Chain A
Amino acid sequence: MNSFWNRFSRNKSAVLGLFILGLVVFMASIAGLIYPDDPFLYSRFPLSGPGVNGFLLGSDSIGRDVASGIAHGAKTSLLIGLIATLAAVFIGVIFGAFAGYYGGLVDDVLMRITEVFQTIPSFVFAILLVAIMKPSIESVVIAITVVSWPAVARLVRGEFLALKNREFVQACHTLGMGDVRIMMAEILPNCLSPIIVIGSLMVATAILIESGLAFLGLGDPNVMSWGFQISDGRSMLRVAWWICTFPGIAILITVLAINLVGEGLNDALNPRLRERN
């Protein structure tokens, strides 16, 4: 664990990413303290510029505080990203593990299914799913999960395919070990690194998908989010640039930070790749 941190911290931009991500998480967790009011609460001062009328980052067309929206929206984005990723990793690992380990017909069937899901344009599919299920936090999480798991399944399948023929797995067979134990206790721990890396990058993608959905009006109407703010400010683009700009920067910084952390994890967990540079 210590050597892992040493390797991770050697990558300066990853440490920076982790720091920024920490700040965003911190902001999300204290949003209720610094902005105790409902972020949907409107005021008498619509379209105030940044710094005007006591609005740090301005207010929108009906006088809602942009800064408050960003702070509360952080929670939405991070939670959706995290939950959808966990669910996608769970499904993907199960699909990939069975396909890769058993091969043959099981592999064929599972991989054909995965292939169908991978062929479908994922964002269009997410739009469709949310539109059918009616926009809500749950439907957004489900939609992101449904479009994200195939990447994990393919990765895990590849790892299992490669590892199941390794001699240490064959040795387990000669000892009479059962399949489930071989899969979970012997093979899975050996492919945790790439799963962690792809998972961290998927959180970033999930946040981007969520904001895109919200921008198209498919966010949960009762929950403040960055995409909702941008979509709402779009019609005011000519008169109030700040409504769209600041939430966009928030997304950019968060996603960037997560990507940096993901790359740092990749370097730290796969020393092989690092040596090349």
Chain B
Amino acid sequence: MTNTLLTISNLDISLPEGSERSLAVENLCVDLAPGETLCIVGESGSGKSLTARALMGLLPAPHVRVSKGSINFCGEDLIQASERRLREIRGSEISMIFQEPMTALNPVMTIGTQIDEIFRYHVAMPAKERRQRAIQLLEDVQLPDPEKIVSAYPHELSGGQRQRAMIAMALSLEPKIIIADEPTTALDVTTQAQILKLISDMQALHKTGVLFITHDFGVVADIADRVAVMQNGRVVETGSVDEVLNRPEHDYTKKLISSVPSLIPRPPRTRSADVVLAVQNVQKTFGDGKSFFGFGKPNRVVHAVKNVSLELCRGETLGVVGESGSGKSTLARCIIRLLENDSGKIMLDGINLCDLNRKEMRPWRAKIQMIFQDPYASLNPRVKVGQIIAQGPMIQGANKKEAEARTRELLEIVGLDERAFNRYPHEFSGGQRQRIGIARALALDPEILVADEPVSALDVSIQAQILKLLDEIRERMNLSMVFITHDLRVAAQVCDRLAVMRYGEIVETGVTGQIFNAPQHSYTRDLLAAVPGQKWDR
């Protein structure tokens, strides 16, 4: 093992007393060679992020600590190393990139100062030269106008730019190892592709070993040389990327991989010609472009949705895909009448919903219901599950007994125990909560469901279950669905037709298979090209 940068042997990380399990990470053994990318992949709670922290000696002491094992870095055991020695290593020999570049950067210091610190604390170098190096680094990570960015504050950059600045910072002393903890999870798919490329380019240039923590198998397929799969604090399988992704051996790995939605669209279903919902020329802007008595700059007018028209046919699932800021969620909220659109029509059963006032709208609410993204925010923590679901029918005029009977029925349909009725939401896991949210939407017997990123907050195995449930329900109740998502893999498996949105406009609509195989608009092509893990796809 001469050509090894890092060897982690038998690592245990213990959690404070009273936690769900006593060890966050148990008997972990992995190693990393120069120029190699090792992906540690797992779902939330698998202990992958704590492993990354442990390498840097950055566990949240004193509650969480390494209780056993060794971390051998170039012949030195990092667990035995003094705090002083660790500080020397951090930032210069091992550096780290984080998930959320906005919070990982100090908001009141310029990017330049934050890079400068690394030089100041690790090498003796005159101030002028340090600044030159910082600018050079920002240029290396392909940031535009590095002279300007060096004196910019984090909030003045976009998410992708911030992550580039983080990478510049991590690279500043050409470390032997970079630990990347979900570095692209907070980014859009096109930005993600660029950042992944940047990391692998830099790695090739400097022969850096990269330890890449992720939950996304697509990303793994694109960048990993070797993979370690973690479940509940244990590595269940390690091997080359080809072995693990194409010939997984452990049951858990198999289950995870089979849960990843394929990019090959499912066969189209026969489409009914009966239009249930028509969105016609809908516009929505935020802000009025006025300033305060002429002082300060006028507040920005954001055209969230520009002249969007859509038709939803009975029994079909229409996907609306786009990156963040494309206006897809705003469109969903206009359709469901949570937001008032500026102009345009939303036609349901020959009635323009935009003409109705709140009271007139009430009976129509039952026909069109929504499933929300965040299973934690979408249920009132102070209201019992049974009541959350029964509330809708009761508002619409059902009596208590009917509503409760219906609720129990629905709990069964969405796969929850009847006992859930008298419990509070916090007693349920994310996937279970999403089932409760679905039951709430179904309680009014809607014709149309608007699902706003219903699975993006969930782990991939749970995601597969919820998607399956939605599919079953749609078939069973003959629902039509508007499905908002940023994830093209999910869209390929769920949607019959797609509308691709960018900057508030629909750039392309069509049958899912057609869009995936022969995208017309250049943006759609970019979007499809950016989806990670294409070459691996079955």
Contact = CB atoms under 8 A, between A and B. Distances in A.
B373 A167 contact: yes
Nearest to A189: B382
A105 interface: no
Contacts of A176: 361-363, 365-366, 392, 395-396
A171 interface: yes
Given A167-B374, A170-B372, A175 B380 contact: no
Interface string B359-382: 001110110111011100111111
B380 A168 contact: yes
Contacts, number: 55
Interface string A92-105: 00000000000000
Contacts of B374: 167
Contacts of A170: 333, 338, 370, 372
Nearest to B437: A171
Nearest to A173: B338
Contacts of A169: 380
A169 B362 CA distance: 16
A167 B365 contact: no
B444 A175 contact: yes
A190 B381 contact: yes
B443 to A, nearest CB: 8
Contacts of B333: 170
Contacts of A177: 391, 395
A6 interface: no
B440 A171 contact: yes
Interface in B440-487: 440-441, 444
B58 interface: no
B372 A175 contact: no
B382 A175 contact: no
Contacts of B396: 175-176
Q: Is the interface of A mostly helix, strand, loop or mixed?
A: helix
A221 B136 CA distance: 77
A14 B10 CA distance: 44
A2 interface: no
A174 B365 contact: yes
Interface string A153-178: 00000000000001111111111110
Contacts of B361: 176
Contacts of A174: 336-338, 365, 368-370, 441
A101 to B, nearest CB: 14
Contacts of A167: 372-374, 377-378
B383 interface: yes
Contacts of B337: 174
Contacts of A232: none
A107 interface: no
Contact of B395 (A166, A168, A175, A189): A175
Interface string B498-538: 00000000000000000000000000000000000000000
Interface string B279-291: 0000000000000
A171 B377 CA distance: 10
Contacts of A166: 377-378
B434 to A, nearest CB: 11
A175 B365 contact: yes
Contacts of B395: 175-177
A168 B391 CA distance: 12
Contacts of B392: 175-176
Nearest to B444: A175
A175 B471 CA distance: 23
A169 B378 CA distance: 8
Contacts of B338: 170, 173-174
A168 B381 CA distance: 9
Nearest to B363: A176
Interface in A132-172: 166-172
B331 to A, nearest CB: 15
A222 to B, nearest CB: 45
Nearest to A185: B383
Nearest to B373: A167
A270 to B, nearest CB: 13
Interface in A159-209: 166-177, 186, 189-190
A190 B365 contact: no
Contacts of B382: 189-190
B341 to A, nearest CB: 15
A187 to B, nearest CB: 9
Contacts of A189: 380, 382
Contacts of B372: 167, 170-171
A172 B378 CA distance: 10
A168 B379 contact: yes
A176 to B, nearest CB: 4
For A169, A173, A176, A177, the residue with the greatest tally of chain B CB atoms inside 10 Å of its CB is: A176
A170 to B, nearest CB: 5
Interface string B299-337: 000000000000000000000000000000000010011
Contacts of A190: 380-382
A1 to B, nearest CB: 13
Contacts of B362: 176
For A166, A169, A186, A189, the residue with the greatest tally of chain B CB atoms inside 10 Å of its CB is: A166
Nearest to A166: B377
B391 A175 contact: yes
A129 B336 CA distance: 51
B285 to A, nearest CB: 15
B362 to A, nearest CB: 4
Q: Which 9 A-B pairs have the closest CB atoms?
A: A167-B378, A167-B372, A176-B362, A176-B365, A175-B392, A189-B382, A168-B380, A167-B377, A166-B377
30 contacts: A167-B372, A167-B374, A167-B377, A168-B379, A169-B380, A170-B333, A170-B338, A171-B372, A171-B378, A171-B437, A171-B440, A174-B337, A174-B365, A174-B368, A174-B369, A175-B365, A175-B392, A175-B395, A175-B396, A175-B440, A175-B444, A176-B361, A176-B362, A176-B392, A177-B395, A186-B383, A189-B380, A189-B382, A190-B380, A190-B381
Given A167-B374, A176-B395, A177-B395, 6 more contacts: A167-B372, A168-B378, A168-B379, A171-B437, A175-B396, A176-B396
